[in-house]
Amino acid sequence: MTKETTLKRCERLILLLGDQLSLNISSLRNADKERDVILMAEVADEASYVPHHKKKIAFLFSAMRHHAKLLRQEGWAVRYVQLDDDDNAGSLPNQLTHELEQFGCAKVVMTEPGEFRLKQTLLSWSKSKDIALDMREDERFICTHAEFQAWALGRKQLRMEFFYREMRRKTGLLMKGDAPEGGKWNYDAENRKPAKGDLFMPHPRHTMRDAITEDVLSLVSTRFSNNFGALEPFWFGVTRTDALLALEHFVQSALPLFGDYQDAMLTDEPFLYHSVLALYLNAGLLEPLEICRRVERAFYDGDAPLNAVEGYIRQIIGWREYVRGIYWLKMPGYTEANFFDAQRPLPAFYWTAQTDMACMAAAISQTRDHAYAHHIQRLMVTGNFAMLAGVDPHEVHEWYLAVYADAYEWVEAPNVIGMSQFADGGLLASKPYAASGNYINKMSDHCQGCRYDVKQKTGADACPFNPLYWDFLIRNEAKLRGNPRLGHAYRTWDRMSPDKQHAYRSSASAVLDGLSS
């Protein structure tokens, strides 16, 4: 018999969310295995606030079920509600109300949700029901809310690079006293090589499925049959042990070349030398510092070069912590930002991958198949296209939140709204990440197999990114011309003949008309 059924009354109900799958979490601090009950629930509300990719739901539900099993093995009383249970109340507040009555608890304890939406919902619920809710800070991050606020206070520009240096000092990662290892803080200049297909290309670790995962897969294939994405093949890890093995596999097989090919794209290699660890990290199966310490050790053991190790650590203690800080600093409201007043609906091919643009088709079909695309695909292909085409950033945001297995609003929204769409007007990025086809051609093999010609600037066969790039700059001239980092681009435009300018604009109109139809 599980402890859940023997414990009839509880002191406190501890709510554990689907992305809080850590034993070392603040909600469990000072908890009492004999008197408290942990509640975990698969609920329709969380599974449908955006139309999540099937693999994302399957990963999270299976990881939740495995975590509940682990907690029980550790002696905790766990009430686990499955999506198809008769007494599933459909939302976290309703489930809490139901369980408080069942167990007769007086108080709810939880770690702060990662999303503003859910935090507000639960705070309003506790207020309206007059239930004591002890919501604790999420300590699974390196930078606290207070530290980020203090860092941001009084700064005109919140640049990641300076924040990152603070995090290096705080953690001591790759530090020699007060100085950075190797004498430089950042080795990004060495990390921009295009890649070539290679027989020995590593692949992320594939985990064998067990009976729990099989049950979840059949639930997802029935209940979420209309959601975006392929459910099979399903090889994500679903436990902390799986995630630690995936980390080890990455360090040994891909880390040494992570830096060199970080920005490269290949049609047949969705993962290249990336770690595919964000889904585990964001769900709580791995901790940021343990990943960074393992990666740092690879450098000191002589197993990986500094450009790879520094680049990787920067993504986690720099970018990841920084975007979380921005999210909580700027919410509510950040997800509604629309600096360019872009109104175009998201083109249908973001859901079907049916487009002649080979780079877009590759990024979207990999997203559909794996609930994954790497950073440069997200930023410079699907994100770049949406911004150049003037797609409503909120629609772009909801797409990204739905389609990636690692997507939670706290990390997704600053990356989409701020970094990729420049919809916050430059809080996060010093200039829009806008690029013509030339960038994609340099960093990938996509253009070789594309129906469009990347070298053609205008006309029906021209790469659509080429005219869209100039059209975007001119459409938004009033907002962008003053940006010093775009001075060169505007001067180039000014030097073009009126005929050439007209050809760019009319080619762009044809592309945009094609999207509308």
Binding stretches for ligand FAD (CB under 6 A): 274-278, 281-282, 312, 315-316, 319-320, 323, 374-375, 378-379, 383, 400, 404, 406-407, 411-412, 415-416, 419-420
Contact partner at residue 389 from ligand DLZ, ligand FAD, ligand SF4, none, CB < 5 to 8 Å by partner kind: none
- Structure tokens given for 142: 């390196």
- Verify binding: residue 464, ligand SF4, rule CB under 6 A: yes
Contact partner at residue 52 from ligand FAD, ligand DLZ, ligand SF4, none, CB < 5 to 8 Å by partner kind: ligand DLZ
Listed in sequence order, the DSSP H helices in 16-53 are 44-48
- Verify binding: residue 441, ligand SF4, rule CB under 6 A: yes
Rounded Cα gap, residues 146 and 283, in angstroms: 23
- Verify binding: residue 383, ligand SF4, rule CB under 6 A: no
| Nearer of residues 81 and 402 to ligand FAD, judged by Cβ | 402
- Choice from 10, 51, 52, 309 touching ligand DLZ (CB under 6 A): 52
Contact region with ligand SF4 (CB under 6 A), list: 62-70, 252-260, 433-441, 477-485: 433-441
- Verify binding: residue 388, ligand DLZ, rule CB under 6 A: no
**Angle made by CA atoms 159, 162, 310, in degrees to the nearest 5:** 110
Rounded Cα gap, residues 125 and 248, in angstroms: 42
What is the b/e burial string over 367-401, where b = at least 16 CB atoms within 10 angstroms of the residue's CB? Answer: bbebbbbbbbbbbbbbbbbbbbbbbbbbbbbbbbb
- How large is the angle between the packed helices 321-330 and 145-152, nearest 10 degrees? 80
Task: Print the binding letters for residues 184-223 with ligand DLZ: x by CB under 6 A, - otherwise.
Answer: ----------------------------------------
Rounded Cα gap, residues 472 and 170, in angstroms: 41
CA dihedral (66, 75, 86, 108) in degrees, to 10, reads -110
Contact in structure between 346 and 352 (CB atoms under 8 Å): no
- Choice from 7, 19, 315, 334 touching ligand DLZ (CB under 6 A): 19
Q: How far is the CB of 385 from ligand SF4 (least distance, A)?
A: 9
DSSP annotation of 261 = T
- Structure tokens given for 413: 């929204």
Q: How far is the CB of 442 from ligand SF4 (least distance, A)?
A: 10
Contact in structure between 81 and 64 (CB atoms under 8 Å): no
Contact partner at residue 115 from ligand FAD, ligand DLZ, ligand SF4, none, CB < 5 to 8 Å by partner kind: ligand DLZ
- DSSP per-residue string spanning 100-123: HHHHT-SEEEEEPPSSHHHHHHHH
Total residues in contact with ligand DLZ, by rule CB under 6 A: 16
Judged by CB under 6 A, the chain residues 396 through 435 that form the site for ligand DLZ are 408
- Verify binding: residue 296, ligand DLZ, rule CB under 6 A: no
Residues that bind ligand SF4 (CB under 6 A): 357-359, 437, 440-441, 446-447, 450, 452, 454, 463-465
